[in-house]
C-alpha cells in the first residue's frame, strides 16, 4: 500500500496545471478509499467504528471530487505485512497530501463546479484524517 501512496504523491507533486493536479488528487482519493477498506477489514473490533467512519468519508470525498467537471468522469489490496496502526498512520499522512492538492486546485480553478467539488472532497478528506487518529 505504501508504494501506492508514494506513486500518487509523486504524481501530485509533479502535476502541472489544474487538470493534471485534479486527476492526480482524484487518483489519490481512490487510493485512500482502498486503503481505508483494507484498514477497516484488518482492524480489531475495538477500533472498527473509527475506521468505518474513515472508510465512509473516503468514499464521500472520492464521490464529491468525481463531480468536478474538469475530470469528466463519474479492490482490496493487502496490507503487505504492515500492521494496522502503521497502515492507519500512512493513510492519515497521505490523505493530507491529497487534501492539500485538492485545496490547491480549488484555489487555482476558474470553474465553479470544480471549486465546489474540491472543497466538498477536502471536507470529507479531513474527516478521514480525523477518524484515523
pLDDT score of 28: 92
Q: Residue 43 carries which DSSP code?
A: S
Residues with Cβ within 8 Å of 77's Cβ and at least 6 positions away in sequence, in order, are 1, 4, 34, 35, 38
Q: What is the mean pLDDT of each run of 10 residues along the chain (133 residues)?
A: 90 92 92 89 79 88 90 51 78 91 93 93 92 86
Q: Residue 4 carries which DSSP code?
A: H
Helix (H, G, I), strand (E, B) or coil at 17: coil
Give the cell for residue 71. Answer: 475530470
pLDDT score of 86: 85
pLDDT score of 82: 53
pLDDT score of 23: 92
Domains and CATH numbers, the chain: 2-131 (1.20.1260)
pLDDT score of 77: 40
Amino acid at each position: 500500500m505504501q508504494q501506492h501512496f508514494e506513486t500518487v504523491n509523486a504524481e501530485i507533486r509533479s502535476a502541472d496545471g489544474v487538470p493534471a493536479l485534479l486527476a492526480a488528487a482524484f487518483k489519490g482519493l481512490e487510493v485512500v478509499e482502498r486503503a481505508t477498506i483494507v484498514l477497516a477489514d484488518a482492524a480489531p473490533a475495538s477500533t472498527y467504528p473509527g475506521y468505518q467512519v474513515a472508510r465512509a468519508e473516503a468514499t464521500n470525498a472520492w464521490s464529491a471530487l468525481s463531480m468536478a467537471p474538469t475530470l469528466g468522469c463519474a479492490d482490496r489490496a493487502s496490507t503487505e505485512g504492515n500492521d494496522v496502526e502503521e497502515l492507519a498512520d500512512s493513510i492519515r499522512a497521505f490523505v493530507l497530501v491529497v487534501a492539500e492538492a485538492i485545496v490547491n486546485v480549488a484555489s487555482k480553478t476558474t470553474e465553479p463546479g470544480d471549486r465546489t467539488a474540491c472543497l466538498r472532497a477536502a471536507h470529507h478528506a479531513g474527516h478521514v484524517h480525523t477518524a484515523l487518529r
